[in-house]
């Protein structure tokens, strides 16, 4: 029973069928196929606004291209200090952007402390050209801690971004889980809050390898297609990526899958929150639970798979995915309850 | 009837089935799945030697990572002046390698003139640190012109490489077509000829998106896995790439598919070589044919798809793929013959 | 009366005379002149060990080349969070190294908290290739806060560096002030403590534009001369840089100048330490003094020049240089005392 | 008697005196000194137009920053295939620009063949994002072959640049020699011909280490000051660079020095052109002369210093500088005549 990562889940059958269906004869390569050409229109309808859509195979590429578009090589990007962007991409944002400096801001619940962000920005630029140029804020939504920036926090980010003349990027590897949780139109959580670039993830939520970099701001610098190509991310048979994204969007599949995952997390959380310590509020599809070390060992013996959170020895991360079975969650809950008796 | 590119061909059904079969439940992410773990062993058996294998989604990534491994940022790489590496990657090799200078060498039949290469190398290094450090030779096999470096030419490359202390890389986007054409063990054409790095392509020859960077030389500098990650090319659900490669290797599927493609090209070439001008010898799965402009127009009207070669207006490139039907080739031959009467 | 920066001080007359003396007729360019050729031997005698010496015009170049030598593009460098390297080079280390991630560690008195450093390193590498490779520690000696890493702290750094297999670099823009203050042979403070690379600064301490990157560890990766050239730092008429360095080393001029600067700082500190608050201990040639805002204004009116420290409004930085006149310091002390009465 | 390089010549006494004069007390650092502040105005007067002026210590930095300003990382720059930019900077332009591809065009007399340039550009862009974006043309004036682009050639370059929407850069390491030779106002040869960026060299023509990057086009992308800083080229005591440039411009010193150098070259050329073979026309301060190998050896024995041109064994390059003595030239001429009898 795998609660280790939504990256380890299989591909949703509807998406797999879309891949199979795309395999009919010849179609143009490098994004001129009929699936890729339909993609932008679908995204425009989803968001209700102009946007440019770049299909990609990895979230690292989406995030890193976003930073490269939003900041010059001598710029700086502000993000949560332990965000994927800063801690888990092996320097990809720096690489794609030819040297942008990531400035990590800490905060509670896996989110940037917005006062600290503003304070850092207020003290930036004192040294002129001796400092990198503040260029972009990047947040993760939902966060790596399974939490969500609220509408009010997004308003505050918009205010800060405008005050300091920055771009705003969302690493949306799990944006579907955030949208499902907040139960708002995705437009309200993105471009209407001043978001300029969104890494719209699908892989973790049921696709095989499909992400879309969505650009809302037509003033974003540079030539995204050449940047994608020179990074080796122009997939020759792109139809197989775009077909995944089309299926993912169709009939709100993406939201249905995210709702399923979130529901499992909520079920787990509600069942144990009174008896156990959760490190962060469970707002999306992840739970961070503190347990006695002996219980953790026993869970593994019984076939439950999960990560012990780095830096701790008694906190486990549980990820609930589009394909998590409720019975497995029930089993997990009951096992924890029994082991903790 | 598409003769435009093997990149526009569909996925071979056996490979598609392998993808479907890999979609059973959870498996580890980031290359620790059972497919990826089996891959290195399969490649070792294929080549009969030690090697490190890095599955990737694009050939651009494979080639560019190879250059980055084989040359320091202040190095230079020698390649055919119109090779994909130099002319069609939008600077990807320079990007991945943080600035390696590509030095294009011209030659006949889409191949580096080896005398010119040696002469260029002999005159390199005169200016010491004012010049980039000659570091790697990269050839394409089979070439972008549909030709093949012979065993004797490979011997000469080995000699040059050793004389100047360089690495040797093959862009093998169509290596299968070369192996099928030469009818030699792939080992004889690669590491036994001193090849240090091979971009082993599968996408053009029937896969969906799957290439393998094969490293034969354990002394190759650097940490390939970190380089892959920071380039955004560590696919999270890598099993779906590795499964393609396993199916591609199994029961010599890769050679069968390449033989099919090559045979169609040969059939076409043999049928027309006495009556028409081919720009390059047809040695693999591509033909470059000179035709009257009016004939080219008529062919298009009749539904044949192909590229007119950039820089010309009367040379068409025809690519024969793993899924090209012999009837379509016959149709094409007869149409050309009729139009040229 | 300028206490703003040692960068604003003039060139010491002995060094200026050396520049004039070097201007006799023709000499070879690009570092093959007789001054540059003599340089390595002088540095070997200074340090009593093998070393490679690279003359440069700026400290930014020296520091950034050092990081580029000590870390691969996918590596990370650990430094004080507000060090020049991290906060005042506009991303130069990232640029020269093609993307190394700087990881800032905070601490007291302008120095890395060594427990935090060790703790950070102990938690690094958990994510394998998802993380940059810990590669080098860089400290500033004397620090930007005018403090000095003690011999014991250097021992601890050596221990940490060995434990985690890292290189150790010193940004020695003011290394002369540190050596003068500790009154130890420079060898004891550098390579004998495991320092692999030293940016040996001269500009702040009396030269016109002259720094030397000193490499003690022959295993340091890469080709420093090509790296220098491609960064545009191979000065064609290098004799005029090398001549500065030779004069700076001759007859211990560098130590005499640093001793003068330090003495002025000590005189200032001793005169006021009982009556005023110094933010950091005054150990080299800088003092950070808290004063009433009105006093700060008055000092300026009276012609004293200095920086108000960014982030504060009542802390001034005073830098004492090789050319600071004792009378001016006396004047400053007395003015402060009077204004604070 | 040194005819090897103008880089080996000493500093002109007037410029040396300016450096000495600048050494009076404290002045602001990092370009806020009174010399640097006066510089832009002087250059505006020289050119009779708006310009931004960036003092630098090396020509490599000036050229490479220019390319970085004029081309995005995915751009391409067109230059003479054996230009300094392409052949002697160890990849500096690629480094500063984060990967711009240099496309070398050959031609006669050390100059780009403008028909070939136009033809190359006409065939660029066929592959869209698979190709780097043509961005800038860079010429050397006077060239590395001691020749000069004529006013008509500059007109043609302007036409090409406009047709293809490119920027135009001059590597003016020896621009003074070109201006002196053409005897036209420098404005006529630069911005009035559509030049967007000029590397205005002084070092080879009498300065110690001083070049100015002059930007005529206010639309040039990016933040030149941050680019300079992160490349380590913001000299802290910049007054000593700016003072050189001010002295160099004052009373037309730059033209006087260049005229002297050119005159020596012309004297040499006129004396021998009827009896000897010059490889290129002698238009500035360099001569490339073919001589019997035995004569070359004899010249060296007699104390004449020069380079044998790489790739040949019987062509010598003679460079005449601001400090070349006419007697030495006479001596050289007579010695050659005698040895060739």
The predicted-structure confidence for D218-269, as pLDDT tens digits, reads as follows 998 679 999 999 999 999 999 999 999 999 999 999 999 999 999 999 999 9
Q: Which residues lie closer than 8 Å to C279 by C-beta, 6 or more apart?
A: C145, C288, C289, C290, C309, C315
In a domain, D4, yes or no: no
- CB of D81 within 8 Å of a chain B CB? The answer is no
Q: How much of chain A, in percent, has pLDDT values that exceed 90?
A: 95
Q: With contacts defined as CB-CB under 8 Å, which chain A residues touch D133?
A: 223, 226
Claim to verify: residue B224 and residue B275 sit in the same structural domain: no
Q: How far apart are CA B118 and CA B114, in angstroms?
A: 6
For residue A317, the domain's CATH number is: 3.90.1150.10
Claim to verify: residue B40 and residue B144 sit in the same structural domain: yes
Is the Cβ pair A99, C94 closer than 8 Å? Answer: yes
Claim to verify: residue A105 and residue A203 sit in the same structural domain: yes
Q: With contacts defined as CB-CB under 8 Å, which chain D residues touch B4?
A: none
Q: With contacts defined as CB-CB under 8 Å, which chain B residues touch C225?
A: 128-129
Claim to verify: residue A258 and residue A136 sit in the same structural domain: no
Mean pLDDT of chain C: 96
**Containing domain of residue B243, as a range?**
12-251
- What's the rounded mean pLDDT across residues A193-202? 98
Claim to verify: residue B93 and residue B213 sit in the same structural domain: yes
Claim to verify: residue A63 and residue A170 sit in the same structural domain: yes
Indicate the residue of B25, B95, B232 with minimum beta-carbon distance to A230. B95
pLDDT number for residue D253:
98
In a domain, B6, yes or no: no
Q: How much of chain B, in percent, has pLDDT values that exceed 70?
A: 100
Of A57, A129, A130, A64, the closest CA to residue A97 belongs to A64
Subunits touching C (CB < 8 Å, at least 3 pairs)?
A, B, D
In a domain, A177, yes or no: yes
Indicate the residue of A74, A225, A234 with minimum beta-carbon distance to D227. A74
Q: How far apart are CA B194 and CA B204, in angstroms?
A: 25
For residue B225, is pLDDT > 80? yes
**Phi, psi dihedrals of residue A294, rounded to the nearest 5°:** -65, -35
Is the Cβ pair A229, D130 closer than 8 Å? Answer: yes
Is the full-model pTM beyond 0.95?
yes
C window 294-323, beta carbon within 8 A of D:
305, 323
Task: Confirm if A197 and A216 have CB atoms less than 8 A apart.
Answer: yes
Claim to verify: residue A194 and residue A282 sit in the same structural domain: no
pLDDT number for residue C152:
97
The predicted-structure confidence for C48-63, as pLDDT tens digits, reads as follows 999 999 999 999 999 9
- CB of A126 within 8 Å of a chain B CB? The answer is no
Claim to verify: residue B95 and residue B133 sit in the same structural domain: yes
In a domain, D2, yes or no: no
In a domain, C1, yes or no: no
- What's the rounded mean pLDDT across residues D117-128? 89
pLDDT number for residue C221:
67
Task: Confirm if A194 and A162 have CB atoms less than 8 A apart.
Answer: yes
Claim to verify: residue C279 and residue C171 sit in the same structural domain: no
Mean pLDDT of chain B: 96
Task: Confirm if A229 and B90 have CB atoms less than 8 A apart.
Answer: yes
For residue D125, is pLDDT > 80? no
- Domain total of chain B: 2
Look at residues C251, C266, C295 and tell me which one is the last residue of a structural domain.
Answer: C251
Q: How far apart are CA D97 and CA A272, in angstroms?
A: 55
Cα C314 off chain centre by: 26
In a domain, D170, yes or no: yes
In a domain, D29, yes or no: yes
Q: Where are the alpha helices (DSSP H) in A190-282?
A: 224-230, 239-249, 253-272
For residue D126, is pLDDT > 80? no
Claim to verify: residue A277 and residue A323 sit in the same structural domain: yes
Claim to verify: residue D56 and residue D31 sit in the same structural domain: yes
For residue B155, is pLDDT > 80? yes
For residue B221, is pLDDT > 70? no
Given pLDDT bands bounded at 50, 70 and 90, which one contains residue B310?
confident
**Phi, psi dihedrals of residue D338, rounded to the nearest 5°:** -65, -45
- What's the rounded mean pLDDT across residues C301-313? 92
Given pLDDT bands bounded at 50, 70 and 90, which one contains residue A127?
confident
pLDDT number for residue C278:
97
The predicted-structure confidence for B159-201, as pLDDT tens digits, reads as follows 999 999 999 999 999 999 999 999 999 999 999 999 999 999 9
In a domain, B5, yes or no: no
The predicted-structure confidence for C88-107, as pLDDT tens digits, reads as follows 999 999 999 999 999 999 99
Residue to mutate among C67, C74, C98, C99, with most B CBs inside 10 A, is C74
Q: How far apart are CA D256 and CA D253, in angstroms?
A: 5
Claim to verify: residue B230 and residue B261 sit in the same structural domain: no
Q: In what order do the strands lie in the sheet with B133-140?
A: B52-56, B211-215, B197-201, B167-172, B133-140, B75-80, B101-105
Look at residues B220, B235, B251 and tell me which one is the last residue of a structural domain.
Answer: B251
CA distances from C142 to C92, C106, C182, C186 (A): 21, 16, 10, 13
For residue D97, the domain's CATH number is: 3.40.640.10
Cα D270 off chain centre by: 24
Q: How far apart are CA D39 and CA D245, in angstroms?
A: 8
Instruction: Specify the 3-state DSSP secondary structure of A63.
Output: helix
Q: How far apart are CA A265 and CA A285, in angstroms?
A: 5
Phi-psi region of A311 (alpha: psi -120 to 50; beta: other; left: phi over 0): left
pLDDT number for residue B139:
98
The predicted-structure confidence for D23-39, as pLDDT tens digits, reads as follows 999 999 999 999 999 99
The predicted-structure confidence for C6-65, as pLDDT tens digits, reads as follows 999 999 999 999 999 999 999 999 999 999 999 999 999 999 999 999 999 999 999 999
Indicate the residue of B7, B229, B323 with minimum beta-carbon distance to A92. B229
Q: How far apart are CA C296 and CA C132, in angstroms?
A: 45
Could you tell me which residues are beta bridge partners of residue C139? C170
- What's the rounded mean pLDDT across residues C311-332? 96
Given pLDDT bands bounded at 50, 70 and 90, which one contains residue C247?
very high
The whole-angstrom distance between A9's CA and the closest CA on chain B is 5
Q: How far apart are CA D166 and CA C130, in angstroms?
A: 40
Look at residues A251, A268, A295 and tell me which one is the last residue of a structural domain.
Answer: A251
Here the contacts of A295-301 (C-beta below 8 Å, separation 24 or greater) are A295/A336, A295/A339, A295/A340, A298/A335, A298/A339, A299/A332, A299/A335, A299/A336, A299/A339
The predicted-structure confidence for A56-103, as pLDDT tens digits, reads as follows 999 999 999 999 999 999 999 999 999 999 999 999 999 999 999 999
């Amino acid at each position: 029973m795998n609660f280790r990562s939504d990256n380890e889940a299989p591909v949703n059958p509807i998406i797999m069928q879309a891949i199979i269906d795309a395999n009919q004869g010849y179609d143009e390569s490098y994004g001129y196929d009929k699936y890729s050409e339909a993609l932008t229109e679908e995204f425009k309808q989803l968001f209700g606004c102009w946007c440019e859509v770049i299909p990609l195979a990895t979230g690292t590429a989406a995030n890193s291209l976003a930073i490269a578009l939003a900041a010059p090589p001598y710029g700086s990007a502000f993000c949560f200090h332990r965000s994927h962007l800063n801690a888990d991409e092996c320097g990809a944002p720096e690489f794609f952007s030819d040297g942008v400096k990531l400035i990590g801001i800490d905060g509670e619940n896996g989110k940037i402390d917005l006062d600290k962000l503003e304070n850092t920005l207020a003290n930036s630029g004192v040294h002129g050209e001796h400092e990198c140029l503040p260029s972009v804020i990047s947040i993760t939504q939902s966060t790596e801690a399974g939490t969500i920036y609220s509408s009010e926090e997004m308003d505050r980010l918009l205010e800060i971004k405008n005050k300091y003349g920055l771009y705003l990027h969302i690493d949306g590897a799990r944006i579907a889980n955030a949208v499902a949780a907040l139960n708002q139109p995705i437009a309200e959580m993105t471009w209407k809050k001043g978001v300029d670039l969104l890494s719209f993830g699908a892989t973790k939520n049921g696709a095989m390898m499909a992400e879309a970099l969505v650009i809302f701001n037509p003033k974003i610098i540079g030539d995204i297609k050449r940047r994608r190509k020179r990074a080796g991310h122009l997939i020759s048979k792109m139809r197989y990526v775009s077909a995944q994204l089309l299926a993912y969007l169709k009939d709100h599949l993406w939201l249905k899958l995210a709702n399923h995952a979130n529901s499992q997390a909520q079920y787990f959380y509600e069942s144990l929150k009174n008896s156990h310590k959760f490190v962060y509020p469970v707002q999306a599809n992840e739970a961070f639970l503190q347990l006695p070390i002996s219980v953790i060992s026993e869970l593994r013996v019984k076939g439950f798979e999960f990560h012990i959170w780095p830096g701790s020895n008694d906190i486990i991360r549980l990820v609930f995915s589009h394909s998590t079975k409720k019975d497995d969650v029930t089993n997990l809950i009951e096992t924890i309850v029994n082991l903790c008796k």
